[in-house]
Every structure is written in C-alpha cells, then in structure tokens.
C-alpha cells in the first residue's frame, strides 16, 4: 500500500521537493513510492525562470519579452518524464520571489517603473515562454498551474509591485495570457493561504474567483493549507471546502502541512489525529461530490525538509515521514481514511 494507490481513484497525491531532494536517492525513492505528483518548492518561480544576467545585459533587446532560462527547471521535468510522475506548476505570478528589476524601465532599478503596457507585454511573454517551453518539450507532464499566488490580504487586494505598476486587474491579465497559451488539458488555478478563514474566503470568492469565472479563465481553487496543530479549526476548513466546491471549480490542496514544534509521542498522536480528521473531510467532500478535489500536495517530503523550521524559528515536525524515510504515525492515520 502507498498513498498513491490508496487515494489514486479520488485524487492525485503529491509533495513539494527541492533541488537537494531531487539529487538525493532516498528522497526520490520515497517520492516515487508514495506519490504520483510533485511540485517544485521554488525552482519554477519567476526568479528562477527569468535570466537576470541576459536581461540586464541587453535590456533593449528583452524589454518587452524577457529572456528566460530553463536549465533550473529541466532536471525536474526530465525526472518526471523518466519516472512517469505528474507535476503541478508553481507559480507563474507572485509578489514574492520575483526580481524587483523586472518591474523597471530597462530592467534598471535606478529608473522609473515600466509603463503598464510594457509590463503587460513582459507578463504575456513570460507566461507564453514558460508554458510553451514545458508544453512543447515535456508535453502532458504539468497538469495544473498556479497562475497567480496570494493576492488577497487584509480585507482587499494585496498591495504589491504588480498592483502598483500594472493595476488591480493584473491577475485577470495573467489568467487571460495563461488561458491563451496553456494546452487545453492544463488546469489553471488561483492559489492562496488561509483560504478557510471566513473573511478571506469570501473575498477570494468575490474579488478573485467570480471575475475570473465570469470570463471562463479559471479552472480551480488552490487551498495551500499550511495549518497549525491546535490553532486551526477543521470545521471552518470543511465549510470553506464546500463553499469553494459549490462554484463547480476543481479544488486542489496545494501546500499541506501541520506545524507542531514538539515531537513527543503525545504531540505526534495529536498530529496523526488532525491529519486523520482532515483527510476524512477531504475524502467525504470528494465522495459526496461536495468538492471536486483533484490533487492533494504536502509541502515537502519529510520533517527534515520542512520550510517551517526556518520560517517559524523552531524545529517543526509537520509531515508524514521523518528520519530519512521512516513512516510516522500520521502516515498510517492518513492512509486508513482512504
């Protein structure tokens, strides 16, 4: 039994991996044994596709169509192709991990911001370049893209260089371009964190999903699902899942982990319980057709890899595996919900 065989009839099951994971046999063995999907933790973000050196060197040439590099993404795509494992693309547009120079006239931070028209052209050509490359060279590997990540914050659209230089509709434009260049079977997602909080959930529905759905530009809602043991309320989570589900969009759980900074037996029992509750919610929402969940991705493979340890500044034990591939109690509590 493995996660992918247990859940395979319901949804894909994945993990985020880093460059180091990709080059560590124990990690790739674990990934291929348990999962049928993966996401690049970082290496498909704009800062890694945008070729800084070339763009800055010849800004006139690349002003409207940034020079892209694919050498960082290729090893993941090759791995996926060779091992017949699917990928989620993450993320075409984000306020983070996108170089600041990208937003300036001549890619020069000492100059003014670029005009809206120039930025839209850069955005379109960026999306076109990334999608065309992966689709032409590695067809049918990436089944879904997070087109836009995290644009709702504090009761409104998040202020960022995107809203400043392009305007609040930049996300609509991004989805228009993604729709234009994505293969028909590639699903386009909006992705965000704390998507189960009522206020944020309603804003996402109203200010992001509704305008995109009216134009037929979005296929799915990505619920990141960075949870904290003892803090997050799974009733709210379940309610949000139903509400997003009612839109008819696909739902993908894109970045699942449950932070806990204690690895005592009691704490790990509690972690297992929370995962079990969560997966019962996911499975019943899918089986009862309340939410069309098509993929569930853990954010990292095993505890030692988790981003939470540096983010929270305390060692986190949030995943299903630890100690170089040992299965935790949480693994068994998840698999028994299938």
Q: Which residues are at the interface with ligand GLA (CB under 6 A)? A: 90, 149, 193, 224, 255, 307
Q: Nearer Cβ to ligand GLA, position 42 or 263?
A: 42
DSSP one-letter string for 153-206: ETTEEPP-HHHHHT-TTHHHHHHHHHHHHS-TT-EEEEEESSTTSHHHHHHIII
Q: Say which of 34, 41, 124, 150 is annotated catalytic.
A: 150
Is residue 127 within 8 A of residue 178, CB to CB? The reply is: yes
Q: Nearer Cβ to ligand GLA, position 121 or 309?
A: 309
Catalytic residue flag (residue 326)? no
Q: Say which of 176, 250, 255, 276 is annotated catalytic.
A: 255
Radius of gyration of the chain (CA): 20
Q: How far is the CB of 192 from ligand GLA (least distance, A)?
A: 8
Enclosing H/E stretch for 227: strand 226-228
Q: How far is the CB of 198 from ligand GLA (least distance, A)?
A: 20
Pick from 138, 133, 26: nearest CA to 80: 138
Pick from 64, 67, 45: nearest CA to 55: 67
Q: Nearer Cβ to ligand GLA, position 90 or 179?
A: 90
- 18-22 own/partner pairs: CB under 8 Å, 24+ apart: 18/42, 18/43, 18/300, 18/305, 19/43, 19/72, 19/75, 20/305, 21/301, 21/305, 22/75, 22/76, 22/79
Q: Nearer Cβ to ligand GLA, position 34 or 146?
A: 146
Q: Nearer Cβ to ligand GLA, position 222 or 270?
A: 222
Torsions phi, psi of 49, nearest 5? -90, -30
d(CA 76, CA 17): 9
Q: How far is the CB of 220 from ligand GLA (least distance, A)?
A: 15
Query: DSSP alpha helices (H): ranges in 186-317?
Result: 198-203, 210-214, 234-246, 265-287, 308-312
Name the residue with the smallest CB distance to ligand GLA. Answer: 307
Q: How far is the CB of 255 from ligand GLA (least distance, A)?
A: 5
Q: How far is the CB of 97 from ligand GLA (least distance, A)?
A: 7
Q: Nearer Cβ to ligand GLA, position 255 or 276?
A: 255
Catalytic residue flag (residue 150)? yes
Pairing relationship of beta strands 152-153 and 156-157 according to DSSP bridges: antiparallel
Q: Nearer Cβ to ligand GLA, position 28 or 224?
A: 224
Q: How far is the CB of 18 from ligand GLA (least distance, A)?
A: 10
Q: How far is the CB of 307 from ligand GLA (least distance, A)?
A: 4
Q: CB under 8 Å to 176, separation ≥6 — which residues?
A: 215, 217
User: Active-site positions?
Assistant: 150, 255
């Amino acid at each position: 039994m493995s996660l992918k065989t247990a859940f395979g009839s319901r949804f894909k099951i994945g993990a985020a991996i880093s460059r180091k994971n990709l080059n560590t046999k124990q990690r790739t063995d674990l990934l291929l044994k348990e999962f049928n999907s993966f996401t690049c933790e970082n290496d498909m973000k704009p800062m890694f596709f945008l070729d800084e050196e070339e763009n800055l060197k010849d800004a006139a040439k690349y002003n409207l169509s940034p020079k892209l590099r694919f050498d960082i993404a290729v090893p993941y795509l090759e791995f996926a192709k060779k091992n017949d494992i699917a990928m989620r693309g993450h993320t075409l547009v984000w306020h983070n991990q996108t170089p600041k120079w990208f937003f300036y006239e001549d890619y020069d931070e000492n100059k003014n911001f670029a005009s809206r028209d120039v930025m839209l052209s850069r955005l379109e050509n960026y999306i076109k370049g990334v999608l065309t490359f992966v689709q032409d060279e590695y067809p049918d590997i990436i089944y879904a893209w997070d087109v836009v990540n995290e644009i709702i914050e504090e009761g409104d659209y998040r202020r960022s260089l995107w809203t400043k230089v392009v305007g609040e509709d930049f996300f609509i434009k991004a989805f228009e371009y993604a729709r234009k260049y994505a293969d028909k079977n590639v699903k386009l997602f909006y992705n965000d964190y704390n998507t189960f909080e009522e206020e944020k959930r309603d804003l996402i529905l109203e200010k992001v999903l509704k305008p995109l759905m009216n134009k037929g530009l979005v296929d799915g809602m990505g619920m990141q699902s960075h949870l904290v043991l003892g803090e997050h309320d799974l009733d709210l989570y379940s309610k949000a899942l139903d509400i997003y589900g009612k839109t008819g969009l696909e739902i993908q759980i894109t970045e699942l982990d449950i932070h806990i900074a204690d690895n005592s037996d009691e704490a790990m029992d509690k972690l297992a319980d929370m995962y079990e509750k969560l997966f019962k919610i996911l499975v019943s929402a899918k089986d009862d057709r309340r939410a069309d969940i098509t993929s569930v991705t853990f954010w990292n493979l095993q505890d030692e890899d988790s981003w939470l340890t540096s983010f929270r500044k305390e060692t986190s034990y949030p995943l299903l595996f630890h100690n170089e591939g040992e299965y935790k109690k949480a693994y068994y509590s998840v698999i028994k919900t299938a």
